[in-house]
Structure 1
Amino acid sequence: MKRKMYDYLVKWKKHANGTSALLVQGARRVGKSYIVESFAKSEYRSYILIDFNKADDAVRDIFEHDLNNMDMLFQKLSTLYNKKLYPRESLIIFDEVQLFPRARSAIKYLVEDGRYDYIEIGSLISIRKNVENILIPSEEDMVNMYPMDFEEFLWAIGDETMYPLITECFNKQKPMGQALHRKAMDLFRLYLIVGGMPQAVKAYVDTKDFDSVDAAKRRILKLYREDIRKHAKGYEMKVEAIFDEIPSQLRNQNQHFKLSSLEKGARFDNYRDAMFWLSDAMIINNCYNSTEPSIVLNLNRDRTLLKCYLGDTGLLISHSFDEKGIVSEEIYKKLLLDKLEVNLGMVMENIVAQMLAANGHKLFFYANPSRDNAEARMEIDFLIAKSQISNRHNISPIEVKSGKNYTLSSISKFMRRFSEQLHTPYVLHTGDLKVEDDIVYLPLYMTALL
């Protein structure tokens, strides 16, 4: 399937020109290996793919004993994989590199040698045991890969005309119009429920059968659980407890993740490593409370108050609406037609978090539960900073509305209370684009353009 990461890889090859390796990291099953190998096949004369999930001791020994003799190292690799290597025309790929950190530390010397290009692919890259006792190479660029975004999903289902129109309307701040907006929302709801994991998208494209889609997503959820039990040694039960609790926390629309739901009297310090494990694995997106919306949101981050969103909203659907181990076709159709009689606020918040994170935004929210000052009491779903920071007017509050009838008391209070730092306030809703009372109302499918 067509992915934007391919264009990124092409640009990296041109600009790095052998002076750095590239580490592509992301959650399991987001399509990292597929797109890198497709790139290798099309853009190089030859390539070697070393999968450390399968590599035997003969391959691993090369990186342990032959780094002082590059001629021998490349000769052995070429022989073991039966691939001829061509200086400046060949790529060597380290897949599942987290399983053999020694290969990652060898990047420094391989890049210095300069003969070939190198791409590392991995998940759980920053987990403590995967970086112990190795030197992280400064010759390594890094890029995160996420599930397929809305535009990539549209490409996959054969629609290459809708998103350019969405982009044009966003840039000109003009509404789509009733008919086109309705079509765009229908496609967006389809994206919501299928999700952006390539295996689930392929299942939909091939079968148009939601049972097949759900089965694909459940295989991925099962894989995540296996990873937790295998790699989160020492606190795997806490990691799995948090993972299982995410739908309930989002459904209740708590101001932050309440650890008391896991264990009476639970303290953040006892669950810190488990929270960060899920975030480092890119299974979840953490959204932190910014106690004072100002020039730099991160400076006022409260690391103990956070919301947890699942990295892919399609997976959240399968994780949440469980019916005897599978989400029924009937539920999928009701979600698609917006006929399911449940509050979909959690789903909409999750997809907004997913799109903002994939677009490079660090996730922050603002919550002031003041009992004494009604004007100060408010909850803002997300805060984003503009790309070029100035002395004033840097922060955009974002409210997510899943229904047709809603109030705007919090965002109105925010606009008054933080007027000096206020940039553009946004309401993301199911309606068409409009600008009213200095607030920009955007259809949810435009989130990725912020």
Structure 2
Amino acid sequence: MLYLKRKIDDYLIAWKEEADHKPLIVKGPRQVGKTESILRFAKAAYESVVVINFVEEPKYRLITEDGYKSSDIIKNISRMDPSKRFIPGKTLIFFDELQAHPDIATALKFFKIDGRFDVICSGSLLGINDKQIESNSVGYKTDYTLFSLDFEEFLWAKGYSESIAEELLNHLIHQKPFNLIEVETYSSLFLDFCILGGMPAVVRTYVERGTFEGTLDLQRQLIEDYKEDIRKYAVGLDQTRILNVFNHIPSQLAKENKKFQLSKVERGARFKDYRGCIEWLCDSGIVNCCTCLQFPELPLKGNSDDSKFKLYFADTGLLIGMLDDESQEDLRVNKNLGVYKGALYENIVAEALTKCSIPLYYYRRKDSTLEQDFFVRTQHSLLPLEVKAKHGTAKSLRTLISSDRYPDIRYGLKLSAGNIGVSDQIYSFPYFCAFLLKRFLRQAEF
């Protein structure tokens, strides 16, 4: 099976080489490649790999019955399977599907103190159990979140070298427009990425076959798997409400005003009744939430209204998979995005920002039509980010930059189908550069 190179590959090597490394917890939604990446690393880096999967082999949930000391857990594992080898300094213990037995996190402290064996834990929906895991292992673990592939990893899958990001970034930093061949090539690849999303199984099928054949079926199966997770793991919450919110995201993103309206989900719905449902979807990694700022100024944290938000799918392939058959055919055959054009590009930008650890905020002024899609920040400046399905610059972006009312805003960013350029303190970039924004902001002098 074709292995898709991931950024976590280099991270895992660096983690092992760190002299005093702690047990590692790899978080992320289901089927983004956590287990595959960890096992590939483990087999190359350790003489012995002990895999404990708490879903496939639930009997191993009993290994903590005698307590959480590493010696007791190893003894119980050996009793259940004497063939598992524990070689001091040369063994990785991999606890997979941690969400099925989050209690094992209590043992991480003892494994760290013991020091003889490396430990990696992984599982889906860990955000749901985050408080329990944190309280059980605070100070004795390292966290890493794995998402589906970003556009850089997609380019690797298509055969581009690891230097491709630096090549593209140089264009941004030096304001050097791409030539026609570059624009057409990367724009076409980016549209394919938008249609596919970044789920490894979908991307692998596309790369191996060279066409979209079979990818829609995989996307729709992933959607069903996520819905099944909601039914299985949304304990103590109204699962029907969570599913209703999930199912309404595409239609609400297709509107010009993309603020999520609960009244469209259920007549008379109140935010307080749905707060837990929204949080569950976000904590599970299925959905990204973009919160409305009370006012566009620094600091951003604490300056938002949690009751006003937009919801995006964490992987754009899920949005694509939920479109009707007619839209699907038009999209894959004719590359026509139709009424979902704005929704698709906003979702893919929200996904790109999240994957490079930029929190999502938007702004809508009550007493005017002023609305801004996203914001990013540097140490000293707040930059509004406009996502344009068409050419041109929105009035809101120009107003935010030019008005004395917003002193933290002096520059703006625009992503569109166009090329690199700068005008009136607005820096324009093609959509396919969205994954580079954080790296660009680190080097830009705003």
Q: TM-score, normalised by structure 2?
A: 0.91
Tell me which of 410, 428, 436 is aligned to 2:396.
410
One-letter code of the match for 1:99?
A: A
Partner of 2:221: 219
Contact 1:255 1:367 in 2 (8 A): no
Cross-structure match for 1:374: none
**Mean Cα displacement is larger for which, 418-427 or 271-280?**
418-427
Letter in 1 for 2:226: Y
Query: 1:71 Cα deviation (Å)?
Result: 3.8
Query: How big is the shift at 1:120?
Result: 0.9
Matched, 1:440 2:427: yes
**CA offsets per residue over residues 371-405 of structure 1, 9 Å max, x none?**
5xxxxx4111001121xx34xxx20100000123x
Deviation string for 1:71-95 (max 9, x for gaps)?
4532443461623222222111111
Moved more, 152-161 or 33-42: 152-161
Q: Residues 133, 315 of structure 1: CA spacing in aligned structure 2 closer, same or farther, 3 A cutoff?
A: closer
Aligned-partner Cα distance in 1 for 2:134–2:313: 31
The residue identity in structure 2 corresponding to 1:267 is R
Q: Deviation digits for residues 417-440 of structure 1, max 9, x if unmatched?
A: 355212531010001101111110
Letter of the 1:435 partner, please give it. Answer: V
Q: Bigger CA drift: 172-181 or 411-420? A: 411-420
3-state SS of paired residue (1:143) = strand
Contact 2:288 2:311 (8 Å CA) reproduced: yes
Q: CA offsets per residue over residues 350-374 of structure 1, 9 Å max, x none?
A: 0000000000101111110315xxx
Superimposed CA distance per residue, residues 330-355 of structure 1 (whole angstroms, 9 cap, x where no aligned partner) = 531222xxx34435000000000000
**Which residue matches 1:63?**
64
Structure 1 residues 130, 208: CA separation in 2 closer, same or farther (over 3 Å shift)? farther
Shift of 1:10: 1.6
Distance 1:66 1:268, change over 3 A: closer
Structure 1 residue 209 corresponds to structure 2 residue 206: no
Residues 122-164 of structure 1 show CA distances to partners (whole Å, capped at 9, x for unaligned) of 1211325983996243211111111101111111122227544
In the alignment, is residue 380 of structure 1 matched against residue 380 of structure 2?
A: no
> Can you list the C-alpha shifts for 1:44-72, whole angstroms capped at 9, x where unaligned?
22211111112242x2222221534x445
* Letter of the structure 2 residue corresponding to residue 383 of structure 1: F
Which of 327, 349, 355 is the matching residue for 1:352? 349
**Match of 2:436?**
449
Give, in whole Å, the separation in 2 of the partners of 1:422 and 1:77: 58
Distance of aligned partners of 1:440 and 1:131 in 2 relative to their CA distance in 1, 3 Å threshold: same
Among 265, 278, 282, the residue aligned to 1:279:
282
SS of the aligned residue for 1:54 comes to: coil
Inter-partner Cα distance in structure 2 for 1:123 and 1:99: 9
Equivalent AA in structure 1 for residue 35 of structure 2: S
Change (3 A) 1:264 1:246: same
Specify the SS of the correspondent of 1:74.
Answer: helix
Alpha-carbon distance in structure 2 between the residues aligned to 1:252 and 1:232 = 29
Query: What's the offset of the Cα at 1:171?
Result: 2.4
Report if the CA contact (8 A) 1:432-1:443 is conserved: yes
- Corresponding position of 1:259: 262
Q: The residue matched to 1:354 in structure 2 has which SS?
A: helix
* Aligned mates of 1:245, 1:7 — CA distance in 2: 38
Map of 2:309 onto structure 1: 306
2:412 to 403, 407, 425: 425
Q: Which residue number in structure 2 is paired with residue 331 of structure 1?
A: 331
Give 3-state SS (helix, strand or coil) of 2:253's partner. helix
Distance 1:313 1:236 in 2: 23
On the 8 A contact 1:356/1:363 being kept in 2, the answer is yes
Q: What secondary structure sits across from 2:288 in the alignment?
A: strand
Deviations 1:174-222 (CA, angstroms, capped at 9, x unpaired) = 1111221111101110111111000100111122332401111111111
Contact 1:96 1:121 survives alignment (8 Å): yes
For residue 54 of structure 1, what is the aligned residue in structure 2? 56
Contact kept in structure 1, 2:252 and 2:260, CA below 8 Å = yes
Are residues 328 and 402 of structure 1, via their aligned partners in 2, closer, same or farther at CA, if it must alter by over 3 Å? Answer: closer
Match for residue 122 of structure 2? 121
Contact conserved, 1:200 with 1:217, CA < 8 A, in 2?
A: yes
Alignment of 1:127-276 (within 5 A): 127=128, 131=132, 135-160=136-161, 162-233=164-235, 234-276=237-279
RMSD: 2.1
Q: Would you say the 8 A contact 1:127–1:277 is kept in 2?
A: yes
8 A contact 1:353–1:363 mirrored in 2: yes
> What SS does the aligned partner of 1:28 have?
coil
* Secondary structure, aligned partner of 1:125: coil
Conserved? CA contact 2:9–2:41, under 8 Å: yes
Partners of 1:52 and 1:146 lie apart in 2 by: 22
User: Aligned residue for 1:9?
Assistant: 12
Counterpart-to-counterpart distance in 1, 2:101 and 2:127: 13
Q: Give, in angstroms, the shift of residue 237 of structure 1.
A: 0.5
In structure 2, distance between residues paired with 1:56 and 1:274: 28
Please give the secondary structure, in 1, of the residue aligned with 2:26. strand
- SS, match of residue 155 in structure 1: helix
For 1:410 and 1:334, the matched residues in 2 are separated by 32
